[in-house]
Structure 1
Amino acid sequence: MASEPITVHLIGDSTMAEKAPSERPETGWGTPFSERVDDSVTVENHARNGRSTRTFLEEGRWHPVVRDLETGDYVFVQFGHNDEVPSKEQYTPEAEFESNLERFVAETRERGAEAVLLTPIARRHFDGDGNPKDTHRVYSELTRDAARSRDVPLIDADERSRSLLRELGPEESKSLYNHLSPGEHPNYPDGVTDDTHFSEYGARRMAELVLDGVEELNLGLTTRLERSPR
Structure 2
Amino acid sequence: MKKPRQSKIYRFSLAIIMLGGITLSFIPPKKKLTIFLAGDSTMADKKVSAYPETGWGMSFKNFLDSTVVIINKAQNGRSTRTFITDGLWKQITDNLNAEDYVLIQFGHNDEVPTKKSATRETEFKNNLILYIDQTRSKKAIPVLITPVTRRSFDSTGTVTDTHARYARIVRDVALEKHVQLIDLDQESMELVQRFGPEGSKCLYNYLEPGENPNYPDGKKDDTHFNELGARKMAEIVLTDLRRLSPEINSRVVGSDRVLTRLHYEK
TM-score, normalised on structure 2?
Answer: 0.84
Determine if the alignment matches structure 1 residue 75 to structure 2 residue 77: no
Determine if the alignment matches structure 1 residue 24 to structure 2 residue 51: yes
Determine if the alignment matches structure 1 residue 66 to structure 2 residue 87: no
Alpha-carbon shift at residue 217 of structure 1 (Å): 2.0
Alpha-carbon shift at residue 45 of structure 1 (Å): 0.3
- Comparing both chains, which one has the higher relative contact order based on Cα–Cα distances under 8 Å and sequence gaps of 6 or more? 1
Residue 79 of structure 2 aligns to which amino acid in structure 1?
S
Of all paired residues, the percent bearing the same amino acid is 48
Unpaired runs of 5+ in structure 1?
none
| Mean CA deviation greater in 93-102 or 208-217 | 208-217
Partner residue, 2:219: 192
Q: Rg bigger for which structure? A: 2
CA distance, structure 2, for counterparts of residue 36 and residue 170 of structure 1 = 29
CA distance, structure 2, for counterparts of residue 38 and residue 18 of structure 1 = 19
2:241 aligned residue (207, 214, 220) = 214
Partner residue, 2:71: 44
Q: How many residues align?
A: 229
CA distance, structure 2, for counterparts of residue 39 and residue 151 of structure 1 = 30
Residue 85 of structure 1 aligns to which amino acid in structure 2?
V
Equivalent position SS for 1:53? coil
CA distance, structure 2, for counterparts of residue 219 and residue 72 of structure 1 = 13
CA distance, structure 2, for counterparts of residue 221 and residue 175 of structure 1 = 30
Partner residue, 1:176: 203
Alpha-carbon shift at residue 218 of structure 1 (Å): 3.6
CA distance, structure 2, for counterparts of residue 72 and residue 40 of structure 1 = 14
Partner residue, 1:14: 41
Partner residue, 1:113: 140
Summarize deviations over 1:136-185 as a string: whole Å, max 9, x none. 00000000011000000000000010000111111111100000000000
2:165 aligned residue (132, 138, 141) = 138
Summarize deviations over 1:107-142 as a string: whole Å, max 9, x none. 111111100000000000001111100110000000
Alpha-carbon shift at residue 219 of structure 1 (Å): 4.7
CA distance, structure 2, for counterparts of residue 118 and residue 219 of structure 1 = 18
Partner residue, 1:203: 230
